[in-house]
Structure 1
Amino acid sequence: MSASALKAKTTTALSEEITAQGAFLADGAEGKPLWSKAADTPRSQASTTKIMTAVVVLETPGLDLDRQVSVKQEYRDHVTENNASTADLKTGDTLTVRQLLHALLLPSGCDAAIALADTFGTGDTIDARTKSFITAMNAKAASLGMTKTTYDSFDGLSPDDKTTPRDLATLARHAMADTTFGDIVEKQSTKQNAANGRTYTWFNTNQLLGSYPGAIGIKTGTSTPAGPCLVFAATREGRTVIGVVLNDPNRFITAATLLDSVFQSDTAITMKLRQLPPGAQTD
């Protein structure tokens, strides 16, 4: 689509079709803005927070993705106390950091989020370690120029986890440059075996995967203050586009519509969303 054609589409049809409270679409290679709506208005971001959780872990100096982490009862308690999304990690099981990243990013496990924050934070207690991890999340946001982003939790459960569509797109583009992150978020499902032999099966809450041809990620998020959110990416004919929609009841259709505006397609009209199996986490 020519620049003039895209401009015509974005200033007319898109402005009427996009139901998100905030949105941003960017070229994946250069980060050039392609379309936006309230791009710099801070909003609650729900579990899209976990993108930063993964980034902080993945950029830890000397990271060993095969490092073993034991699941503590406190991780399950965190989920129960907050009625949060879960990977259903079992107390006493041992999983690798790589496996916990799957548990974090596919079923949006808040138990995996606290496990990673506890493992990679510093301090003498779980509370101290997780707080230091959140400090690292904010420091990373600052280093990326995410000037309107604040993290108050490691999993998005705090209403004070705020970001803008533009900032979140910046983070998403940065995260997708990491091959481990990209390999995980494009999976529709995974089976992972804990050290004791227990098999975990996790399904990706991002229903754009398997529904929109070329979709390669990234992360869902839903909470009462944030509404339904989606950070997404797709590649067609060698071009990658990254987008964000915040507080949008039609987030998957909106994402497809925005992608269509760049890829010159009408997938959003005919797309049938991949259904999650009974009992799978939604987010």
Structure 2
Amino acid sequence: MICAAMLGGMLLVQAAALPEMGALNAKSAALYAANGQELYSYNADEQLQPASVTKIMTMLLTMEALERGEVTLDTMITGSEYACSMGGTQVWLEPGEQMSLNDMLKAIAVGSANDCAVAVAEHLAGTEAAFVERMNQRAAELGCTNTQFINANGLDGMGQKTLTSAHDLALISCELLKHPKILEYTGIWMDSIRGGKFSLANTNKMLKSYPGLTGLKTGYISEAGFCISASAERDGLSLVAVVMAAPTKETRMADASALLNYGFANFTVYTPPADLLQPVPVQLGNADSVQPVLQDSQSFVVEKEKASQLETHLELPDTLQAPVEAGQQIGELTVSSGGETLLTLPITAAEAVEMTTIPDLLLEFLGKLAGGSPA
């Protein structure tokens, strides 16, 4: 086995070693690094209503559809009678009115348009109900255990309501941030649609008050209180702060700011050296070696005070035997501090290596004979 000790990163943070956060006003809150590391939580598994923060899942499924090529930003979306009947915040879509997906995304991300959220859901899945099935399936795939969506916009339904948790919203937000294009919408302060005839102003006022804020989404209905999933980046550290059921707009902003301040004050990004993971030789393969990669992330968030005191132990085999599958675990990286293991991270194969066939071996043998024969 190849073993190496060096400075490294950790995925789980020992909160006891960190300063106290201080009291929050909201019922529930969570602070995550954008790579999915939980940095702080407060009642983060309590089921609460997210209001329009629901739309982060609507935007995630939209961005994934864009990535798959199912739609483009120029795709025209038609407002149905049902979509146009939504209450709350809206852009007053008319039945039969068409708007590009680009403008629909603006309306959803900036103006929190309930009608546009439903129109996009219907276009992507045929019906909003079918889209909601996709929302709940995607939430389950992301490890959300306290989430049940009932629609694409977060409004109350007939005797139903969307329920989720700060933990789950953070997971969905981190997944959305894997599509950086969305920040071109969530970071808009003011814009317009319908050829400039309808103005949009972002409901996320932290864009103007918090340095480094990039998005993502606010929400409010009376039963849910004031909610937000706020993303921000400074010095390469990207964070997500989720606040649920704050009593006022002001306390929502204060709590989100406190969470982000806590993150930027106490954590930093650590990226392992590029030469940490060297190719591993493969025997009897159609390639001589395979490149190992860290399964979950190429960088980690660590406590600033521990960033120079961590030890990692790298375990990889000296050789591998073909075939090797792409994504196959071939080793692991263990991170420790003071003799205590903080993290074991899988190392996987970046690409597949097929087994060399007998005809290939024969051709290789004949090639070596020909190359080694006298002139």
Change (3 A) 1:6 1:66: farther
Q: Is the 8 A contact 2:232 2:260 kept in 1?
A: yes
TM-superposed CA distance for 1:40, in Å, is 1.1
Alignment partner, residue 87 of structure 1: 91
The secondary structure found in structure 2 opposite 1:145 is coil
Out of 44, 48, 55, the position equivalent to 2:60 is 55
Alignment partner, residue 125 of structure 2: 121
TM-superposed CA distance for 1:107, in Å, is 1.1
Kindly provide the amino acid, as one letter, of the partner of residue 71 in structure 1.
G
The secondary structure found in structure 1 opposite 2:261 is helix
Alignment partner, residue 264 of structure 1: 265
Q: How many residues end up aligned between the 2 structures?
A: 245
Kindly provide the amino acid, as one letter, of the partner of residue 209 in structure 1.
L
- Please say if 1:242 is aligned against 2:240: yes
Out of 120, 139, 142, the position equivalent to 1:141 is 139
- Please say if 1:164 is aligned against 2:170: no
Kindly provide the amino acid, as one letter, of the partner of residue 25 in structure 2.
T
Alignment partner, residue 344 of structure 2: none
- Please say if 1:43 is aligned against 2:48: yes
Alignment partner, residue 152 of structure 1: 150
The secondary structure found in structure 2 opposite 1:163 is coil
Q: Is the 8 A contact 1:175 1:182 kept in 2?
A: no
- Unaligned residue ranges in structure 1 (runs of 5+): 123-128, 266-283
Deviations 1:108-138 (A, max 9, x none): 110111111121122xxxxxx1111111111
Q: Distance in 1 between matches of 2:85 and 2:33?
A: 41
More helix by percentage:
1
The structure with the larger Rg is 2
- Please say if 1:67 is aligned against 2:75: yes
Q: Is the 8 A contact 1:51 1:219 kept in 2?
A: yes
Q: Distance in 2 between matches of 1:64 and 1:183?
A: 15
Q: Is the 8 A contact 1:65 1:96 kept in 2?
A: yes
Alignment partner, residue 350 of structure 2: none
Alignment partner, residue 22 of structure 1: 28
Give TM-score scaled by structure 2 length.
Answer: 0.61
Q: Distance in 2 between matches of 1:134 and 1:214?
A: 32
- Unaligned residue ranges in structure 2 (runs of 5+): 1-12, 267-375
Alignment partner, residue 229 of structure 1: 227
TM-superposed CA distance for 1:31, in Å, is 1.9
Alignment partner, residue 19 of structure 2: 9
The secondary structure found in structure 2 opposite 1:59 is helix
Change (3 A) 1:7 1:176: same
Alignment partner, residue 278 of structure 2: none
Q: Distance in 2 between matches of 1:173 and 1:121?
A: 23
Change (3 A) 1:21 1:228: same
Kindly provide the amino acid, as one letter, of the partner of residue 22 in structure 1.
S
TM-superposed CA distance for 1:75, in Å, is 2.9
- Please say if 1:180 is aligned against 2:185: no
Alignment partner, residue 355 of structure 2: none
Kindly provide the amino acid, as one letter, of the partner of residue 106 in structure 1.
V
Alignment partner, residue 37 of structure 2: 32
Q: Distance in 1 between matches of 2:164 and 2:79?
A: 30
Q: Is the 8 A contact 1:68 1:96 kept in 2?
A: yes
Quick one: higher RCO (CA 8 Å, sep 6+), 1 or 2?
1
Q: Distance in 2 between matches of 1:91 and 1:130?
A: 16
Deviations 1:57-97 (A, max 9, x none): 22123222210123344433222xxxx11123345542111
Q: Distance in 1 between matches of 2:168 and 2:80?
A: 33
The secondary structure found in structure 2 opposite 1:217 is strand
Q: Distance in 1 between matches of 2:51 and 2:189?
A: 21
TM-superposed CA distance for 1:143, in Å, is 1.2
Root-mean-square deviation (CA, aligned residues, Å) is: 2.1
- Please say if 1:251 is aligned against 2:273: no
Q: Distance in 2 between matches of 1:90 and 1:211?
A: 35
The secondary structure found in structure 2 opposite 1:162 is coil
Change (3 A) 1:4 1:134: closer
Deviations 1:184-242 (A, max 9, x none): 111112223x3xx4632211100110110111111001112211001001111111111
The secondary structure found in structure 2 opposite 1:209 is helix
Change (3 A) 1:140 1:237: same
Q: Report which stretch shifted further, 85-94 or 254-263.
A: 85-94
Alignment partner, residue 216 of structure 1: 214
